[in-house]
């Protein structure tokens, strides 16, 4: 559990999602940002064994085939290839992107303090509550129309040639002009937009970002990036080199086993603007929003990468579902209700809300039986 400053805090009538999930105290003002489940060295999970607790990376080192499975090892993964999280935010996260494998290796070799591993970090966000985010670039024509329509935005591209390079040049200008230009533009926009009865989604998002990060050039990214309002069950996949920022709400987040983030604004953490501007793919248009592939007991989200797939399993009282490992390791997290986990020849285990479970590949099958009025589990596994 990580208490990022942007995490959810207790409010009248609302406990932060992660504190409520884990049934832990939520003191006033204490933010609950992320719950990590995985083997990344920054915050590895501990496995409860009859002999005591063992860090998951150590268990994998001791028994790689039994834990990860032959398919995972054959695919070239010597450690758990994914990291599963619950992310909950009351405040916006940074304007950021994640490097591809080649760039991750370069950044880690050059600056291991700020880029702690050599892996890429494609990720999926699956909304558990209404979730607000910015992902990928809007069409250049739409951005340019706002730059021409709103006078305070003129310094960020009104005078640039309207050609195929306009977006790249305009976004670079946003992150390289003097601070005074940003301050003047932002304050003028606030004065103009605050008087409007119905701001556009981009305008409303800018006002929110500027309120949390006054005089921060990252807030003006609201006019460049696609604004998304995900409903529960909807998801968006973010490949490498896509700019994004999460704004508000709760998601299941799964990613390749990495903690590499290149930030450009709206943060008190390390900023690496030149790296971000050079790495971005500058693809235009909204990212696909999906609800996964429907299964008999839930939905399966399968991004086009081998590191992970995510399943949301929904059960009613008395429901029983048989699952197979398919020689793949899984992590299970119970987010609603209570279930029994039944493995042939073993005592039944009670999996209560907030508990998480390692399902080693060597255990070929398992039955989930819902023992409460309703149950919901998250299952993450390699996508092989």
pLDDT given for residue 36 in this prediction: 97
Q: Are residues 30 and 123 in the same domain?
A: yes
Q: What is the dihedral of CA 142, 173, 217, 215, to 10 degrees?
A: -120
Q: Are residues 185 and 333 in the same domain?
A: no
Percent of the chain with pLDDT over 70: 100
- Crossing angle between the packed helical segments 179-193 and 201-212, to the nearest 10 degrees: 120
- Residue 327's pLDDT band, with cuts at 50, 70 and 90, is very high
Q: pLDDT digit string (tens) for 1-29? A: 789 999 999 999 999 999 999 999 999 99
Q: Are residues 28 and 121 in the same domain?
A: yes
Q: Are residues 23 and 126 in the same domain?
A: yes
Write the CATH number for 362: 2.60.120.10
pLDDT given for residue 92 in this prediction: 97
In 104-243, where do the E strands start and end? Answer: 123-127, 131-137, 225-230, 235-238
Which tokens go with 55?
């860090």
**What b/e string do you get for 23-46 counting C-beta neighbours within 10 Å, with b at 16 or more?**
eeebeeeebbbbbbbbbbeebbbe
Q: Are residues 204 and 132 in the same domain?
A: no
pLDDT given for residue 213 in this prediction: 97
Q: Are residues 116 and 258 in the same domain?
A: yes
Tally of domains in the chain: 3
Tell whether 74 is covered by a domain. Answer: yes
Domain span including residue 144: 140-225
Q: What is the mean pLDDT of residues 45-67?
A: 95
- Of 290, 314, 337, which residue sits at a domain end? 290
Tell whether 7 is covered by a domain. Answer: no
Q: pLDDT digit string (tens) for 264-278? A: 999 999 999 999 999
| Burial grade of 222 (CB within 10 A; 0-12, 13-18, 19 or more) | buried
Tell whether 8 is covered by a domain. Answer: no
- Of 172, 201, 225, which residue sits at a domain end? 225
The pTM assigned to this predicted structure is 0.96
| Burial grade of 13 (CB within 10 A; 0-12, 13-18, 19 or more) | exposed
Q: What is the mean pLDDT of residues 176-187?
A: 97
* Residues annotated as catalytic (active site), given as ranges: 263
Tell whether 112 is covered by a domain. Answer: yes
């Amino acid at each position: 559990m990580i208490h990022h400053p942007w995490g959810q805090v207790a409010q009248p009538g609302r406990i932060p999602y992660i504190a409520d999930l884990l049934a832990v105290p939520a003191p006033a003002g204490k933010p609950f940002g992320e719950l990590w489940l995985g083997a990344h060295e920054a915050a590895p999970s501990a496995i409860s064994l009859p002999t005591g607790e063992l860090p998951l990376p150590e268990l994998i080192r001791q028994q790689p085939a039994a834990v990860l499975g032959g398919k995972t090892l054959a695919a070239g993964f010597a450690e758990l290839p994914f990291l599963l999280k619950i992310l909950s935010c009351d405040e916006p996260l940074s304007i950021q992107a994640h490097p591809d494998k080649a760039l991750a290796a370069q950044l880690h070799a050059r600056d291991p303090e700020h880029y702690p591993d050599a892996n890429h970090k494609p990720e999926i966000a699956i909304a558990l509550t209404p979730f607000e985010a910015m992902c990928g670039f809007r069409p250049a024509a739409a951005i340019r129309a706002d730059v021409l329509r709103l006078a305070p935005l003129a310094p960020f591209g009104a005078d640039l040639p309207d050609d195929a390079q306009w977006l790249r040049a305009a976004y670079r200008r946003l992150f390289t002009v003097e601070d005074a230009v940003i301050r003047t533009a932002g304050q003028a926009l606030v004065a103009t937009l605050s008087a409007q009865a119905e701001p556009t989604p981009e305008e409303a998002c800018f006002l929110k970002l500027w309120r949390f990060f006054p005089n921060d050039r990252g807030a003006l990214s609201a006019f460049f990036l696609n604004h998304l309002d995900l409903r529960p069950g909807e998801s968006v996949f973010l490949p490498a080199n896509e700019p994004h920022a999460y704004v508000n709400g709760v998601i299941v987040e799964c990613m390749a086993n990495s903690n590499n983030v290149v930030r450009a604004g709206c943060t008190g953490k390390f900023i690496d603007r030149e790296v971000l501007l050079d790495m971005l793919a500058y693809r235009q248009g909204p990212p696909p929003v999906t609800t996964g592939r429907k299964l008999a007991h839930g939905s399966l989200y399968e991004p086009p990468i081998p590191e992970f797939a995510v399943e949301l399993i929904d059960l009613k009282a008395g429901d029983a579902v048989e699952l197979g490992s398919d020689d793949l390791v899984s992590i299970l997290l119970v987010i609603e209700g209570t279930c029994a986990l039944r493995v042939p020849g073993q005592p039944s285990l009670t999996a209560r809300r907030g508990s998480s479970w390692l399902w080693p590949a060597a255990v070929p099958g398992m039955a989930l039986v819902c023992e409460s009025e309703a149950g919901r589990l998250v299952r993450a596994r390699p996508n092989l």
